[in-house]
Structure 1
Amino acid sequence: MIKLIASDLDGTLLNADSEVSPANAQAIRDAQAAGIEFIVATGRNLPQAQPRLSRHGLKPAFITINGALVYNEAGQVKVHIPLAHDLLFSVLDEIDRAGFYCELVIPDGVVSNSYAHRLADMKRALRRYHQNLSDDELTAQAEKRIQYLFTKYVDDYREYVTPDTEILKAVVFADGGQAALAPLKQQLEAQGGLAITSSGENNLEINAKDAQKGPALAAYAALKKITMDSVMAIGDNLNDESMIRMAKYGVAMANAVPQIKQLAWHVTATNVEDGVAQAIHHAIALNQQEKGGERNAVLY
């Protein structure tokens, strides 16, 4: 019996306009009405993620920043795993040596040392779904998006970080994609103590080792007295891998990277085809058939 469904946001629950579609929102309500709890699991922080659900009157729990901060439905923090400053500084050293731009994620926003780079990366993300827009139109959309995201601009990350500063994640961007980022990833993995994933072809996301979606989802499920045999996890990219592996019902989007599809128990439609809604309704049907003694027909 599926009792908890976790869904990634970007490339999964969100459509090409970076919004939750009416069909996906209704499916979440359908799940809740059927006694299935829903939780968002995202690399974003809460201020970036929550409005997309609240616009539909939805107030789920949130795994944010890849598991560094987890909130229950009431907004109370249940998991809190920042990056230790010594690890952060060694990460920044490696990024500087590699010559890449990076951003730091804090509980309520992002810290950047370059508006130009931030704009370029936003445009790159938008281009994935808006290939017909001109460069000027894309720039206008990217500038609008950035205005709604809290960003603190600083000259030097090391000067910004004081003993009281809390950094939850570092994100590295590269035009050359994962091939260009591979040597840096190898160097960072050799340091130990880090969880290094990706939410897109052109980035690396760096958290503390224990700040991963899978362990965070398992910890949240345990608080609810739910085992991972009763959990469905839906995602599309490498920062979803740990929860896809750990949940019995791992679901990949049709637009997911091959590695996630290979892990998945089931592949649903794309994020622009309301694939999450389809997966949720599949879960509801599985539960209904299990109650009627037809579990094997759904599973196999």
Structure 2
Amino acid sequence: MIKLIASDLDGTLLNADSEVSAGNAQAIRDAQQAGIEFIVATGRNLPQAKPRLDRHGLKPAYITINGGLVYNETGQIKVHVPLAKERLLRVLDAIDAAGFYCELVIADGVVSNSYTHRLNDMTRAMKHMQPGLTAAEAKAKAEEHIKYLFTKYVTDYRTFLAADPEILKVVVFADGGQAALAPLKQRLLALGGLAVTSSGENNLEINAEDAQKGPALAAYAALKQIPMTEVMAIGDNLNDESMIRMAKYSVAMANAVPQIKALAWRTTGKNTDDGVAQAIHQAILLNQQEEGGERDAVLH
């Protein structure tokens, strides 16, 4: 019996316009009406994630910042795992030595030391989500998008950190993709105590080791007294790996990276084809079949 479904956002629940489709929204309602709880699991912070569900009148729980902060349906924080300052400073040293731009993620926004770099990376993301855009169109969309994101611009990260703000994640960007980022990833992992994942070809996401989607999902499920054998997780990229490994009913998007497809129990449709809705309806059907004593017909 599936009692809880967790879904990633980008490349999973969100379509090419970075929105929740009407089909996916209705499927979430269908799951809730069938007694299945739904939780969003994203690398974004809550102000970036919540409006996309709010527009459909949906009020799920949220795993945000890859597990750095987890909120229940009423917005109460249930899991809280920031980066320790000493380890964060060592992370910044490694990034500086590698020569890459990075951003610091806080509970309600992003801290950046370069508007130019932020715009360039957002433009690349827009182009990736909508390949048909011209360079000028992608840049215009990026400029508009940045206006609605809370970003604190600082001259120097270490000066900013002297006041001991809480940092939940660091995101590193590189034009050369994962091949260019691989040496830095190895150096960061060697520091210990870190989770180093990726939500796209051109980034690394660095959290405290316990701030991962899988452990966060397990912690939230435990609060609800739901075992991981009754959880479905849906994702597409490497920052979804921990929850794909830990949930019994793990589902990869058709557009998922090969590593996630190889781990998953099932593959669903693309994010542009309401793949999450397909997976949700399969979960509802599985529960119906189990209640009717026909579980094996769905599982096999």
- For Structure 1 versus Structure 2, the TM-score category normalised by the shorter chain is over 0.9
Confirm or deny: 8 A CA contact 2:127 2:135 kept in the other structure. no
Q: Which residue in 2 is equivalent to 1:251?
A: 251
Deviations for 1:76-116, whole angstroms, at most 9, x for unmatched residues? 00000100000000000000000000000000000001111
CA shift at 1:134, angstroms?
Answer: 1.8
SS where residue 179 of structure 1 aligns?
A: helix
Query: Residues 221-300 of structure 1 correspond to what in structure 2 (within 5 A)?
Result: 221-300=221-300
Maintained 8 Å contact 2:124/2:138: no
Report if aligned partners of 2:10, 2:18 keep a CA contact under 8 Å in 1. yes
* Residue deviations 1:17-60 (CA, integer Å, cap 9, x gap): 10000000000000000000000000000000000000100000
Counterpart of 2:91 in structure 1 is 91
Name the residue aligned to 1:212. 212
In structure 1, the partner of 2:118 is: 118
Task: Show the counterpart of 2:52.
Answer: 52
For residues 145-184 of structure 1, the aligned pairs below 5 Å read 145-184=145-184
CA offset at residue 163 of structure 1? 4.5
Contact 2:61 2:75 in 1 (8 A): yes
Shift of 1:70: 0.3
How far apart in 1 are the matches of 2:112 and 2:186? 24
Task: Give, in angstroms, the shift of residue 132 of structure 1.
Answer: 2.2
Q: CA RMSD in A?
A: 0.6
SS at match of 1:39: strand
1:242 counterpart letter in structure 2: S
Within 2, Cα distance between the matches of 1:7 and 1:130? 21
Q: Which amino acid aligns with 1:211?
A: A
Aligned to 1:193: 193
Q: State the AA in 1 paired with 2:119.
A: L
* Residue 266 of structure 1: how far off its partner (Å): 0.3
Q: Distance in 2 between matches of 1:283 and 1:216?
A: 21
Letter matched to residue 237 of structure 1: N
- Partners of 2:41 and 2:129 lie apart in 1 by 21
Quote the offset at 1:162 in angstroms. 2.8
Larger deviation, residues 232-241 vs 157-166: 157-166
Q: Alignment partner of 1:78: what SS? A: strand
* Separation of aligned partners in 1, 2:298 and 2:181: 41
CA distance, structure 2, for counterparts of residue 215 and residue 163 of structure 1: 29
- Name the SS of the counterpart of 1:128 in structure 2: helix
C-alpha contact (below 8 Å) 2:106/2:169 kept by paired residues:
yes
- Deviation, structure 1 residue 135: 1.5
Which TM-score applies when normalising by structure 1?
Answer: 0.99
TM-score by length of 2: 0.99
Query: 1:229-286: CA deviations, max 9, x gaps?
Result: 0000000000000000000000000000000000000000000000000000000000
Aligned residues: 300
**CA–CA separation in structure 2 for the residues paired with 1:64 and 1:299:** 30
Instruction: Extract unaligned runs of 5+ from structure 1.
Output: none
Cα distance between partner residues in 2 of 1:79 and 1:187:
28
Give the match for residue 26 of structure 2. 26
Contact conserved, 2:85 with 2:164, CA < 8 A, in 1?
Answer: no
Contact 2:231 2:248 in 1 (8 A): yes
SS at match of 1:119: helix
- Structure 2 gaps of 5+ residues are none
| Cα distance in 2 for residues equivalent to 1:198 and 1:270 | 19
Deviation, structure 1 residue 129: 2.8
Aligned residue number for residue 138 of structure 1: 138
Mapped to 2, the partners of 1:22 and 1:211 lie a distance apart of 31
**C-alpha distance in structure 1 between counterparts of 2:286 and 2:136, whole Å:** 47
- In structure 2, the partner of 1:12 is 12
Between 1:135-144 and 1:265-274, the stretch displaced more is 135-144
Distance 2:132 2:37 in 1: 38
**What amino acid is aligned across from residue 203 of structure 1 in structure 2?**
N
CA distance in 2, matches of 1:268, 1:44: 23
The letter for the 1-side match of 2:112 is: S
CA contact (8 A) 2:228 2:248 kept: yes
Cα distance in 1 for residues equivalent to 2:125 and 2:250: 25
Please state how far the C-alpha of 1:126 moved relative to its aligned partner.
Answer: 1.1
Q: 1:138-167 deviations in whole A, cap 9, x for unaligned? A: 111110111111000001000001353100
